[in-house]
Amino acid sequence: MNLQNVDFPTEIVEEGKAKVLVPKLEAFVKLPSEYAPSKAPVFYNPVMELNRDIAVLAVQIYQKMLRRQISICEPLTGCGVRGVRFALEVKGIKKVLISDISEKAFQLAKYNVQINGLNKHILVKNEDANRLLGGYGAPHRRFDVIDIDPFGSPVIYLDSGIRALRDDGLIALTATDMAPLCGVHPKACIRKYGGKPLRTEYCHELAVRLLAGCLSATAAKYDMGVSIAFSHSTDHYVRIYANIKHSAKKADESIKNMGFILHCFKCFHRETTKGLFTVGLPLRCSECGSELNVAGPLWLGKIFGDRFCDLMEEEIKRRMFKHGVRITKILALIKDEIEAPITYYVIDKLCDALALPAPSIKKVVEILKKEGFQAFLTHFNSKGIRTDASAMNMKELLRKAVVEHATSFK
């Protein structure tokens, strides 16, 4: 195959069942602080292998739930590794369409499709993502699955992506712009996602909920409803998988899941309220009387689906992924927090504020349950606990945990 436009250092790597030609990343880095994937002529990030592993799992579960062949579109394919893996590793695929606006990426993706023997299964295009998706918005042309994994925010592709999705289709979105979503650049988050972030200890959950809320609001414009099948926060990004239903009634139901999270930075109190308007929201903390800060509007509904998570946990046992052990741990934590209260407390942060040594997470969970509260670990933070205990209760129980810990060593 002609690779004349691929005039840069490359190497063959193996990922899942795929062998792909990718940019040799070390050739494009001059300083240790430089981010190699963004310097290469074609985007490829080996760190996102776990993301792609979970994508294979999620798409396979979606296909099994539909019990028919499915079509997939990946409009920002880079070197094509994700699309190639879908075709090789997901059973029940009818067709895969991958595309990239970059000519060099297009050539590399075509080559990778060829060397994996997938010319009859994958169609490769060289188009702008929104233009490509816009051409598949008509009935009978839409996809079952659309995977949007950009460098940065996915919001500029939401309108065209949603319209190119079949009824009950699955859209997968990655957001790597964590600074806006976690409140470092709140104006950028408001512009892009239509919701205000907060720099709280549970900002990664807020990021998922802001992304889900933006998706829900966008889908509602087209009389479509959203339900979140799965989500996760890993490393430097958040990821959601959502089913889209073509129904004005479902759109109305989705909008009912929108609301605000109110947070007190003085005493760590937090509460939620549904609705799209800030008029009538409490201004003062009910525990300490300080000013409340507001995050939202954002998604207050479920961010994990029970059945979907069960099936993913079963499916991972049949797979031999490089990151299989880590994924299994993530799924186990997520399964436990499906029904848990919204937001979580980070024990180290609370203890720092109270000038206390941090007890073990296991000890805090044990005390919470003993006192009659719910207590769940969370995949969002290894020091985080979801609970229905108030901030005041948490502080009292942490003091108790520290005293008990000290007494046990006397």
Note whether 222 and 370 are same-domain residues.
no
Among candidate residues 299, 321, 356, the one where a domain is terminated = 299
**Percentage of the residues of the chain whose pLDDT score is greater than 90:** 90
Tell me the residue range of the domain where 356 lies: 346-410
Q: What is the pLDDT of residue 1?
A: 53
37 pLDDT more than 90: no
130 pLDDT more than 90: yes
Banded pLDDT at 407 (limits 50, 70, 90): low
Query: Which tens digits make up the pLDDT trace of 174-192?
Result: 999 999 999 999 999 999 9
Note whether 189 and 58 are same-domain residues.
yes
Note whether 80 and 190 are same-domain residues.
yes
Note whether 101 and 204 are same-domain residues.
yes
**Residue 42 placed within a domain:** yes
Note whether 227 and 373 are same-domain residues.
no
Note whether 196 and 47 are same-domain residues.
yes
Q: How many domains does the chain have?
A: 2
Higher pLDDT, 172 or 38: 172
**Residue 2 placed within a domain:** no
Give me the phi and psi of 302, to 5 degrees please: -65, 140
Q: What is the pLDDT of residue 33?
A: 67
Q: What is the CATH number of the domain that holds 387?
A: 3.30.56.70
Give the separation between CA 113 and CA 79, rounded to whole angstroms.
10
Q: What is the pLDDT of residue 409?
A: 42
Note whether 186 and 265 are same-domain residues.
yes
357 pLDDT more than 90: yes
**Percentage of the residues of the chain whose pLDDT score is greater than 70:** 97
Q: Please give the sequence-ordered ranges of beta strands (E in DSSP) within 329-409, or none if there are none.
A: 345-346, 376-378, 381-386
Query: Which tens digits make up the pLDDT trace of 361-386?
Result: 999 999 999 999 999 999 999 999 99
What's this model's pTM, rounded to 2 decimal places? 0.96
Among candidate residues 299, 331, 366, the one where a domain is terminated = 299
410 pLDDT more than 50: no
- DSSP output for 273-315: EESS--TT---B-TTT-PBPEEEEEEE-S-SS-HHHHHHHHHH
- Name residue 326's amino acid: R
